[in-house]
Amino acid sequence: MKNNPDHSGRLWIRLCLQISGLLVISLLSACSPQPPKTQFRAASPEEATWIRRLCEPIAGELAASLLARMTAEIAALGPEAGIEVCKNNAISLTHAIAAKHGANSVITIKRTSHKIRNPFNNPDAAESEALKIFLAPSPPKDYVQAIENGGRVEVRYYKPVLTGAACLICHGPETQIPSGISAKIRELYPDDQAKGFREGEFRGVIRVSAIMPQVP
Ligand code: HEC
């Protein structure tokens, strides 16, 4: 079959336009200032040993203290007081525990989940990956991760948090949440996703992170 010159000419023009488009895009990305690239990966064995030793006790103590404080407040003041524990005391407890373990300000602690109540606890990309690992069948007992950011390595220790029976009055199926609590939660967290959990179900993680000391 004879080649149609008109048709192949148009093909060339289209090809050139596509190539110049690619060039413009790559020139643009070369010129515009890029934020430092953050990359995350599973921690190396050395990083994992270091962070587990430092952060596993902190994560364990935070989980136990939150539960103890909540149970005590609910027993003394009623279930709605528990909301205040989860809301106001989590942060101060976190700081007190980090200080008690001799940790300096480099340690950070966060609670996050695939279904959050407070949008402030929203997971970042690395946390979302950790959450996926715990949501998969046969999840590990913890997960350690390294975030590289311009030569600085932040190592993260993740401890899974399960939904205990005591959690259901605030995180369980709607029918198990007393109406006073339901109303208070709706008022404070209009975009709440942290309901409908069953006992024993994965609820989220406690993440304790530290900056890996530089090897001279
Ligand atoms: C009395 C109500 C109440 C009980 C009981 C309760 N929580 Fe919460 N929980 C809340 C509130 C309120 C928040 C939002 C806290 C905030 O503003 O950061 C929350 C937040 C969380 C978060 C942080 C992520 C998010 O969704 O924002 C986790 C994880 C969590 N709860 C786990 C638990 C677990 C596990 C239990 C049981 C041991 C429990 N909670 C019991 C009310 C409760």
Atom of ligand 1 at shortest range from CA of 168:
5
**Measuring from atom 1 of ligand 1, which residue has the nearest CA?**
82
**Measuring from atom 17 of ligand 1, which residue has the nearest CA?**
87
Average pLDDT over residues 90-112: 71
* CB 62, CB 206: distance < 8 Å: yes
pLDDT band at 24 (very low <50, low <70, confident <90, very high): very low
- Average pLDDT for the chain: 81
pLDDT band at 2 (very low <50, low <70, confident <90, very high): very low
Who wins on pLDDT, 87 or 206? 206
Who wins on pLDDT, 8 or 185? 185
Place of tokens 């350690």: 144
Average pLDDT over residues 28-35: 50
Residue 190 confidence (pLDDT) above 80: yes
Residue 125 confidence (pLDDT) above 90: yes
Residue 22 confidence (pLDDT) above 80: no
Classify 45 as helix, strand or coil: helix
Distance between CA atoms of residues 190 and 24, nearest Å: 44
Q: Output the pLDDT for position 68.
A: 83
Residue 90 confidence (pLDDT) above 80: no
Who wins on pLDDT, 146 or 77? 146
Residue 158 confidence (pLDDT) above 60: yes
State what percent of residues in the chain have pLDDT above 90.
Answer: 47
Atom of ligand 1 at shortest range from CA of 206:
29
pTM assigned to the model? 0.80
Paired with 150 in beta bridges are: none
Residue 80 confidence (pLDDT) above 80: no
Atom of ligand 1 at shortest range from CA of 80:
1
Atom of ligand 1 at shortest range from CA of 194:
26
What does the DSSP assignment read for 17-32? Answer: HHHHHHHHHHHHHHHS
Distances (CA, A) of 89 to 73, 86, 115, 210: 11, 6, 21, 22
Question: Residue 115 Cα, ligand 1 centroid: separation in angstroms?
Answer: 11
Give the pocket of ligand 1 (CB within 6 Å). 67, 70, 79, 82-83, 86-87, 90, 111-113, 116-118, 121, 161, 163-164, 166-167, 169-171, 194, 203-204
Classify 198 as helix, strand or coil: coil
Residue 135 confidence (pLDDT) above 80: yes
Task: Write out pLDDT tens, residues 32-59.
Answer: 555 556 789 999 999 999 999 988 988 8
Residue 43 tokens read as: 């921690």
Question: Residue 191 Cα, ligand 1 centroid: separation in angstroms?
Answer: 14
Distances (CA, A) of 122 to 97, 112, 192: 22, 6, 12
Distance between CA atoms of residues 90 and 14, nearest Å: 59
Domain boundaries along the sequence of the chain: 38-211
Atom of ligand 1 at shortest range from CA of 66:
38
Residue 15 confidence (pLDDT) above 60: no
State what percent of residues in the chain have pLDDT above 70.
Answer: 74
Residue 76 confidence (pLDDT) above 90: no
- Which of 117, 195, 198, 207 has most ligand 1 atoms within 8 Å of CB, for mutation? 117
* 150 φ/ψ sector (left φ>0, alpha ψ -120 to 50, else beta): left
- Which sign does the torsion angle of CA 160, 162, 166, 167 carry? positive
